[in-house]
Structure 1
Amino acid sequence: MKRLCFGRQPADTRYRYHPGLPFSEGLPRSNSTSFSTLSRNFYLTSNKGNMLIGEGSCRIFDYDRNHSCMLSVHVLHDAYKGSKEAMDLLNNNFDALVLPMANEIRPNLNHASLLKVLEQIKIPVIVLGMGMQNEMEDLSVLESATVEMLRWIDEKARVFGVRGTYTEGWLKKMGFKNPTALGCPSMMLYPENILGIRAPTGKPADYRFVTAGYLQKKSVRGKQLAKFFEGQKCSYVFQDEIFLFKDELQGRDFFDDSRSQLRQSVIEPLMSEAIGARAPFDKYFYFDSVEAWRQCYGWHDIFIGDRFHGGVAALQVGLPTAILFKDLRVKELSEFFGVPHTSVDKACTMGIEAFMAEYLSEQRIAAFHDVYRTRLRNFHRHLTEAGMAMTEGEALAQMAA
């Protein structure tokens, strides 16, 4: 399959060109650094982890890039009121529809437009990375369109890839036949770097750390994370939690877009006040680009944090990485790939030196690599059997062996 439509997650902060001319592409964000502009740009990608999911999906396959595209198919459906002509654009111009997904199985999320697209699709559909937000008792908590979308995918998709064994097990318990735990496609990008990770051998003071989490007002998790990194050289990466500080940041000069860096003099007092303790981070970042994200991580040594895709960017660069979690989605992905992980509470109780000795030891890294090779091999096999060629097929097979 050479002409692919990637129909769900964005890979970068770019505007869509609504008239849609051949050879056109959406424009990048402006250089404005106002709070309102950053907020508006955020809604081009939503959760920043989506950029890594979308980018990974687009880069790991071998296909005709001049005749393929990224397209929010539900937006196309709504813009053209679900017309046959609009849906024929998909059926006539592409060999497959690839749907990189994330937390799609959760209450209060309506997939009516996507379901209507799927009902008119005649080309193969490949679903990757679908997952649950949290544990649920049964299907009754989901919107009816979400349940019908799941049934359509289960019956008709060529690949029904979910992100881990929790999601696969729950769906099968609900009567679905074909969900397969394949992990998140973002974890299939730069496998050579991931498999090249080595355990740190020094003390915490020898390293520069990078972390991500939930620095929010009155946040217990944020306060725990800050305490964990007390006395260390550590950078903090914001995702959507930066927008909880609208009143404090509106109208202020607080962001250097060229460096993707927030001004220390503005942010540090806000964070210290928010968590009720001194924030120990000496640099703060916020990314609208996955390339900038990875470049920044490249001059750090270790990632330990409370955001799974913040950790994925670190793994892609080859940093020793450990994930702290408090919810199912992070726990599921960490367990599935064998990434060293534990609860935020336990990490904070241990302290950073004991944590590193246990969770970033040679044995833990070796165990992670063993699991990762299995997941890499399984992903490669399922997707090639479905007709999708990998960009580094032979090399990938050797790495996964």
Structure 2
Amino acid sequence: MKRILIRSGKSPFDVVSPEAVMRQSIGGANLGNLVFSDSAYKMLLTPDVELVPTRGDRIRPDDAARINEEYDAVVLPFANAFRSQYERSLTTWTKVIERLRIPVVVLGIGAQSSLDYDLERLRPIDESVKEFAKAVLDRSPSIGVRGEFTGHYLDSLGFKDVEVIGCPSMFRYGGELNVEKKASALGRDSRIAVSVTRDAGDIEKIVMANFDRYPELVYFAQDHRELELLYWGDTSEAADRHAEFPQHRSHPLFRDGRVRLHLDPVTWIRSLSEYDFAFGTRIHGTITALLGGTPGMVLCHDSRTLELSRYFEIPYKKTTELSADVDAAALYEEADYTALLKGHGERLDTMTGFLESHGLDHVYAAGGDGGASFEEGMRGLDFAPPIRAWDGEDDGGLGYRLGWLKENAAELKRTQTRADKHIDALTKRNKALEDALAKQGKTLEKAVKRITALERTARNTPYRRVRRTVGRPVRRILKGRE
């Protein structure tokens, strides 16, 4: 049986609790990562293949020897890995890959920049990306990227063996994709799902404008910090602390119980299938809706959301083009899914062709089960329900107390992190000073030895030897005259 190591926070068949997700950092900082890793997992799970998840980015260079011994290939589904915040992890993966002797397949990696595809923003990480791409291409015929911008970026660095294949997430159900508007127009009672990203234009204003219009609007959160906020609570109400972005429990979305967070893509998709429309800045917030058959629109705020929307022909609007009070009904009316559905089969062929060119079998090949066994396995599992805000009612203020403790623990952790960084900086500075002093000491020691040698040489000049030889008798004669 062929064994493949796949980059994933967990196996799709692992049933996890919110405590485990937080403790083990499953999905990294964003549970949306599980949407594409689960789809890649399903695609590759043929009868003669065993897939083993990496459990995130926990692989280290020292693991390379074991990986070479135990696996036949490494498959790396990525998101926006070409960004400065991820450079350290990217460098670690490069060091791992450089030690591997087995095929390495990069499945849909992306670069992150601005809406105008500004390459200059990526220049600080150029060298790290070059090293990563070279290491991969030494073990793979090409690199699979998410969209046009990432392809253009790698081309600017001199890499031509690049294929635009999109993101595995859109192919969770293979060639099956059915998106239909359930009503001709949205009404006040329509069920609307929203997703938001910090610093994405006026997204928080757009959400709140529609919060007032649609009582059934719900915010689908994805981040770990939002999971912690739902699970632990905070003291924002008591402290009279508020923000336009939904980052405190005092925010109307949390206060009114209109926030949900799913730990698994399967429950996320099922839940969104019951909604009328989904919109927001989270690309996988919209993709999960589309997979569930619900119309959705991406509000693009950066290159990663824009290039994926363009590639898959998902309806989108740039956040720079929207007013702060845009009505979801207008977005719904404008959205057209004809191109998305028409081109889906061709895009699946591109993805599966990429896998085949890299020597990987998949469930959508002729004679494959199309993922039926995967779905059968999923149906037999009891996944956790969506996480809602814990309100702490009738508990003597326990909700507040735990929220307070959690906030203080988080602050202590931040303080400790700052202290550790300061200590590291001082340690490096001290080492540099010690090295400089040691170097100066060696230089001084050499100088002393040289002076001593010169002194010895000076004592043994012909003049001094003659003076010593003649001087003694002269001094005796002079002494005798006295």
Tell me the TM-score normalized by structure 2. Answer: 0.64
The one-character-per-residue Cα deviations of 1:219-266 (angstroms, maximum 9, x if unpaired) are: 8321222214532221111122854996x9856699xxxxxxxxxx99
The one-character-per-residue Cα deviations of 1:36-68 (angstroms, maximum 9, x if unpaired) are: x87545465322221112111111124357733
Deviation at 1:13, TM superposition (A): 9.4
Partner of 2:263: 288
Do residues 372 (structure 1) and 344 (structure 2) align? yes
**CA 1:366–1:394 in structure 2 vs 1: closer, same or farther (change >3 Å)?**
farther
Partner of 2:296: 321
**CA 1:278–1:395 in structure 2 vs 1: closer, same or farther (change >3 Å)?**
farther
Aligned residues with identical type, % of pairs? 23
Partner of 2:3: 3
Partner of 1:302: 277
Do residues 354 (structure 1) and 330 (structure 2) align? yes
The one-character-per-residue Cα deviations of 1:53-112 (angstroms, maximum 9, x if unpaired) are: 21111111243577331125863425xxx2xxx423222322211011111111241223
Number of residue-to-residue matches in the alignment: 356
Equivalent pair of 2:191/2:277 in contact (CA under 8 Å): yes
The one-character-per-residue Cα deviations of 1:283-320 (angstroms, maximum 9, x if unpaired) are: 21012222221232132222122100111111221111
Matches within 5 A, 1:130-141: 130-134=109-113, 135-137=118-120, 140-141=123-124
**CA 1:396–1:365 in structure 2 vs 1: closer, same or farther (change >3 Å)?**
farther
1:322 aligned counterpart, secondary structure:
strand
Do residues 209 (structure 1) and 192 (structure 2) align? yes
**CA 1:70–1:367 in structure 2 vs 1: closer, same or farther (change >3 Å)?**
same
Cα RMSD (Å) of the superposition?
3.7
Gaps of 5+ in 1: 15-26, 255-264
**CA 1:253–1:278 in structure 2 vs 1: closer, same or farther (change >3 Å)?**
closer
Partner of 2:450: none
Partner of 2:69: 92
Query: Structure 1 residues 301-310 or 382-391, which shifts more?
Result: 382-391
Gaps of 5+ in 2: 371-482
* AA in 2 matched with 1:222: E
Q: 1:52 & 1:335 partners in 2: Cα distance?
A: 19
Equivalent pair of 2:175/2:348 in contact (CA under 8 Å): no
Partner of 1:261: none
Query: Which among 160, 164, 173 is matched to residue 181 of structure 1?
Result: 164
**CA 1:69–1:341 in structure 2 vs 1: closer, same or farther (change >3 Å)?**
same
Equivalent pair of 2:206/2:326 in contact (CA under 8 Å): no
Q: 1:29 & 1:368 partners in 2: Cα distance?
A: 33
**CA 1:223–1:138 in structure 2 vs 1: closer, same or farther (change >3 Å)?**
closer
Structure showing greater Rg: 2
Do residues 101 (structure 1) and 101 (structure 2) align? no
**CA 1:253–1:189 in structure 2 vs 1: closer, same or farther (change >3 Å)?**
farther
Matches within 5 A, 1:16-55: 29-30=16-17, 32=19, 39-42=22-25, 45-55=28-38
Do residues 63 (structure 1) and 49 (structure 2) align? no
Equivalent pair of 1:13/1:29 in contact (CA under 8 Å): no
Partner of 1:21: none
Tell me the TM-score normalized by structure 1. Answer: 0.76
